[in-house]
Structure 1
Amino acid sequence: MSSIDGVAPEVPPSGAGCVECDEAGGWWFHLRRCAQCGHVGCCDSSPAQHATAHFKATGHPIVRSYEPGEAWFWSYETSELFESGPDLAPPEHHPATQPTPGPAGRVPEDWVKSLNR
């Protein structure tokens, strides 16, 4: 990543799942973490697309995958993917015991039909 504007490495993530989905009792496909404020939101394939909504509401430009085994960053401003970037405050991903999609108990049986493509 050539610039770290919009990245605050010391800020921890907001939790183990999408903030808004947790509040509403919803579910997500994959999770994204705001690299500026730590907000965890669901990806654009998820029904509610809260990570992008967070960018639109706050202007925070960069997210990092919040999935186990993934360390890439995405810039909403430039539509650029960065394979790596600065280390962020732990944890680096949602709990490994949390299923994808998740969370357990809230994902409908026909969840694939609800994905945005």
Structure 2
Amino acid sequence: MMALCQHLAALETLIPAAAYSCAECVALDDTWVHLRVCQSCGHVGCCDSSKNKHATKHFRATQHPVVISAEPGEQWAWCYKDSQMAEY
């Protein structure tokens, strides 16, 4: 079993989604597939299966490394910097 990267290992308390929508997609009058929550600031963005990929764009703009899934029943985190996933 691979050890967790420093970003995933540092997660203590998870930040839940404050809203179940991607604000950038709403502003564009667009839709999304799934939502991700930034664990540095709480930003909610759409996933890479969505047309706009706002969660990844947020990472590129901020370098905040970890998101979690906002989808009901999904319990995983992803580190953009280390391309590593962890279940919680």
Q: TM-score, normalised by structure 2?
A: 0.83
Larger radius of gyration: 1
Query: What percentage of aligned pairs have identical amino acids?
Result: 48
The count of residues paired between Structure 1 and Structure 2 equals 82
Q: 2 CA distance for matches of 1:31 and 1:10?
A: 15
Give the strand-richer structure, 1 or 2: 2
Is the partner of 2:9 in helix, strand or coil?
coil
Q: 1 CA distance for matches of 2:58 and 2:33?
A: 17
User: Please, what is the CA RMSD of the aligned residues?
Assistant: 1.8
**Gapped regions of structure 1 (runs ≥ 5):** 85-117
Distance 1:63 1:47, change over 3 A: same
Look up the match of 1:80: 84
Distance 1:22 1:8, change over 3 A: farther
For residues 1-117 of structure 1, the aligned pairs below 5 Å read 1=4, 3-4=9-10, 7=11, 9=13, 11=15, 13-84=17-88
- Distance apart, 1:9 and its partner CA: 3.2
**Gapped regions of structure 2 (runs ≥ 5):** none
Q: TM-score, normalised by structure 1?
A: 0.63
Give the helix-richer structure, 1 or 2: 2
Q: 2 CA distance for matches of 1:15 and 1:80?
A: 25
